[in-house]
């Protein structure tokens, strides 16, 4: 055997041989995918090996290589048994380096540990690939309408988040896109997963031939509709900073007046107009007015002096600070800015107070044309009774917040998904369809096969009768952690009743097993439906209208959701739907997307019971009167090279066909233990 590390031939030790284990899916644990691995073996620390590994035994001169994966290739008798593997350095033990080689599914799945949200963060490895950039889009009426018949990438389906009224109170069905959220086709994301790992999906894969898979969309159900990391970290230059260079004295000509500013410090987008911040797009802002104020006026009487500062947008007041002389005011004993004590009033009638380093702050969402200004209000217009000034260098600052997606913003599609890893999303997909994943590291191809494929391959099963050694056999009548009742579950969501909605179970008639077990739980919750045009639409209630029929804020927390896309033909029903953003409208009379989770009379359903019947009958049959057989075989390097674990083997000794569950620690010219699961 020859081991190449980083394309360099390594020296092997005679007393620490490399043994290889081959596996794609352990039927004893269908919730996880397995891969090929070697035993933990020792490489002698020869000068060649030390150099190849980056001098790991020398603390002073160790390079960065031990902290990274090594490329690995194993050749036996001129055959590349492991053409594209990964070697890990586990540590240094005495005069040897402890190593492990991984390949097959392990290589593929290890690249999927990244979070989906990392795809929008260019500081990460996966983010640098810009895989989702092509699907970025603007949230507006035209985009929503154009997406209704999309079959890949993003889509803006008609989903009731708690604000759709049907039947409509008018003759027209109208959908406000401000109450819509996007979905993303699962198949597109899976294709991107394979691409980022350097693999392509075998076009003959069972998964790709399933009409249901083609229609699945991950529908937005997050608590926040947020931007990607790169977007959040980019300055949009829509903020302003302006100052008043001189003392600003309230005119006393009116009770309320707008604060005027004389110096523009920052205004790249020309948003400062008419002494206010005028939004030129939908923006989420934090506005701050920093100032020092002096107030002088009556301490006693019916109307003691007060001054107020607050923001306003249109007729809406936002935030207010009130200054008065109630505490710690200084009594004025001499003339002060024209204040006049009325005849007969005692000394101490007037007082003053300085309010240093005050800050008025407000968060607001503005739409184009909104003007945010600062209002300066006093409670007495008589100049003889009140004087108020704002000191020089008072500053009005507006900063835009880049976290939330607002109407008109660009949408980064990774934020449609829940905050999970790529691996979690793929595993959820494979479990839904009963998929066995097999990778070919030589051709960089991944095949998403099914138990059905394995059974269908029985006619081309390989006869290993002559390779089977007469060393006895072990038979086990149980397989892994199964129970008499094995639950297939969706995540629980408080809004979904009954709690078991969408769930199912695989029953095994074996009284020796535990009573119950969880086979797997989806990353998503089930979704209920509500009536809509000629049928139903999915309902994910995020707006609480229990006390206010006009509420529009998304405030209810929900679990992630996955739906089946359905294109509703409006022409056949002589219907039309109007999409609006409150101003612009678009009339659609051909087709819209009305997704669902399950339909009572539908053939396609995400209900686990329907999925169980469609994709799990072969596994259920295996679990009834299970027989796991362990035998020993003599397998040649050619057998290993040509190994396809999706093709069963046949043994004349048992007159039976078997699925190869695991080939354990293969070495050339040595008997190898093989776990087999009887088919049928």
Q: What digits encode the pLDDT tens for the residues 124-152? A: 999 999 999 999 999 999 999 999 999 99
Which DSSP string corresponds to 299-337?
SSSSS--EEEEEEEETTEEEEEEEEESSSSPEEP-S--T
pLDDT digits (tens, 9 = 90+) for 412-451: 999 999 999 999 999 999 999 999 888 887 788 999 999 8
Q: Are 377 and 256 in contact (CB under 8 A)?
A: yes
**In this structure, is residue 290 part of a structural domain?**
yes
Cβ neighbours for 56, distance < 8 A, ≥ 6 positions apart: 50, 62, 65, 66, 89, 92, 97
Classify residue 426 by its DSSP letter. H
203 and 173 share one domain: yes
Tokens of 301: 């009487």
**In this structure, is residue 563 part of a structural domain?**
yes
468 and 584 share one domain: yes
Which of 37, 68, 103 is a domain's end point? 103
Tokens of 206: 């069972």
Highest mean pLDDT among 41-45, 179-183, 664-668: 179-183
126 and 176 share one domain: yes
Beta bridge partners of 543: 554
How far is Cα 50 from Cα 61, in angstroms, rounded to an integer?
11
How far is Cα 641 from Cα 61, in angstroms, rounded to an integer?
39
How many domains would you assign to the chain? 3
180 and 282 share one domain: no
In terms of pLDDT, which residue wins out, 323 or 253? 323
The pLDDT of residue 115? 95
pLDDT category of residue 658 using cuts at 50, 70 and 90? very high
CA 539 to centroid of chain Cα atoms:
20
16 and 93 share one domain: yes
**What distance, in Å, lies between the first and last C-alpha atoms of the chain?**
38
How far is Cα 48 from Cα 54, in angstroms, rounded to an integer?
10
Predicted structure pTM score:
0.86
Other Cβ atoms less than 10 A from the Cβ of 315: the count is 5
CATH at residue 282: 2.60.120.40
How far is Cα 539 from Cα 527, in angstroms, rounded to an integer?
7
Q: Are 541 and 551 in contact (CB under 8 A)?
A: no
467 and 534 share one domain: yes
pLDDT category of residue 348 using cuts at 50, 70 and 90? confident
**In this structure, is residue 585 part of a structural domain?**
yes
Burial 412-446 (b: 16+ CB within 10 A, else e): bbbbbbbebbbbebbbbbbbbbbbbbbbebeebbb
Q: Element (H or E) spanning 453, and its range? A: helix 451-456
How far is Cα 187 from Cα 153, in angstroms, rounded to an integer?
8
462 and 517 share one domain: yes
454 and 499 share one domain: yes
How far is Cα 576 from Cα 590, in angstroms, rounded to an integer?
8
**In this structure, is residue 83 part of a structural domain?**
yes
58 and 132 share one domain: no
- Residue 157 belongs to what domain range? 116-227+411-618
């Amino acid at each position: 055997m020859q081991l190449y590390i980083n394309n360099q031939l390594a020296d092997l030790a005679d007393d620490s041989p490399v043994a290889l284990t081959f596996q794609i899916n352990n039927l004893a644990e269908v919730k996880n995918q397995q891969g090929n691995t070697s035993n933990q073996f020792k490489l002698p620390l020869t000068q060649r090996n030390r150099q190849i590994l980056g001098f790991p035994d020398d603390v002073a001169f160790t390079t960065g290589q031990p902290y990274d994966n090594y490329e690995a290739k194993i050749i036996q008798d001129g055959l590349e048994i492991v053409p594209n593997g990964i070697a890990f350095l586990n540590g240094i033990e005495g005069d040897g380096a402890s190593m492990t080689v991984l390949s097959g599914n392990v290589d593929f799945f290890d690249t999927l540990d990244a979070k989906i949200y990392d795809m929008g963060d260019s500081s990460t490895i996966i983010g640098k690939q810009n895989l989702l950039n092509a699907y970025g889009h603007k949230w507006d009426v035209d985009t929503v309408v154009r997406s209704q018949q999309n079959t890949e990438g993003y889509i803006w389906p008609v989903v009731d988040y708690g604000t759709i009224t049907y039947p409509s109170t008018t003759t027209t069905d109208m959908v406000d896109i401000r109450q819509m959220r996007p979905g993303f086709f699962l198949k597109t994301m899976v294709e991107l997963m394979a691409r980022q790992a350097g693999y392509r999906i075998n076009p003959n894969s069972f998964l790709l031939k399933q009409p249901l898979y083609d229609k699945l969309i991950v529908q937005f159900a997050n608590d926040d509709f947020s931007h990607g990391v790169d977007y959040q970290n980019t300055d949009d230059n829509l903020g302003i900073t302006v100052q008043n260079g001189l003392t600003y004295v309230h005119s006393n000509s009116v009770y309320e007046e707008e604060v005027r500013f004389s110096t523009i410090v920052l205004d790249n987008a020309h948003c400062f107009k008419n002494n206010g911040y005028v939004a030129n797009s939908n923006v989420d802002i934090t506005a701050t007015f920093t100032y020092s104020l002096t107030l002088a006026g009556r301490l006693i009487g019916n109307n003691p002096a007060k001054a107020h500062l607050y923001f306003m947008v249109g007729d809406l007041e936002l935030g207010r600070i009130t200054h008065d002389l109630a505490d710690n005011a200084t009594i004025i004993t001499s003339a002060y800015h024209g204040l006049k004590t009325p005849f007969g009033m005692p000394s101490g009638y007037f007082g003053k107070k300085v309010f240093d380093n005050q800050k008025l702050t407000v968060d607001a969402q503005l739409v184009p044309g909104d003007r945010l200004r600062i209002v300066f209000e006093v409670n007495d217009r008589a100049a003889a009774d009140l004087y108020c000034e704002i000191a020089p260098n008072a500053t009005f600052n507006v900063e835009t917040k880049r976290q939330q997606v607002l109407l008109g913003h660009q949408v980064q599609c990774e934020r449609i998904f829940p905050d999970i890893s790529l691996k979690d999303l793929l595993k959820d997909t494979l479990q839904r369809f009963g998929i066995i994943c097999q990778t070919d590291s030589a051709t960089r191809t991944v095949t998403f096969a099914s138990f059905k494929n394995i059974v269908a391959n029985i006619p081309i099963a390989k006869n290993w009768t002559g390779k089977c050694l007469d060393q006895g056999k072990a038979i086990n009548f149980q397989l892994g952690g199964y129970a008499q009742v094995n639950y297939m579950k969706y995540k629980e969501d408080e809004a979904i009743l009954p709690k078991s909605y969408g769930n199912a179970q695989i029953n095994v008639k074996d009284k020796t097993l535990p009573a119950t077990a969880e086979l797997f739980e989806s990353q998503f919750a089930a979704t209920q439906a509500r009536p809509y045009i000629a049928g139903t639409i999915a309902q994910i209630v995020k707006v609480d209208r229990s006390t206010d029929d006009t509420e529009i804020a998304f405030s209810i927390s929900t679990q992630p959701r996955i739906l089946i896309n359905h294109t509703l033909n409006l022409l056949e029903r002589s219907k039309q739907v109007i999409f609006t953003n409150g101003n612009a409208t678009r009339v659609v009379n051909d087709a819209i997307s009305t997704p669902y989770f399950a339909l009572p009379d539908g053939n396609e359903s995400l209900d686990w019971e329907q999925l169980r019947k469609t994709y799990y009958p072969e596994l259920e049959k295996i679990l009834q009167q299970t027989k796991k057989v362990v035998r020993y075989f003599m397998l040649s390097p050619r057998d290993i090279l040509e190994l396809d674990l999706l093709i069963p083997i046949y043994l004349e000794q048992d007159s039976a066909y078997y699925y190869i569950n695991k080939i354990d620690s293969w070495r050339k010219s040595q008997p190898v233990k093989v776990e087999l699961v009887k088919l049928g």
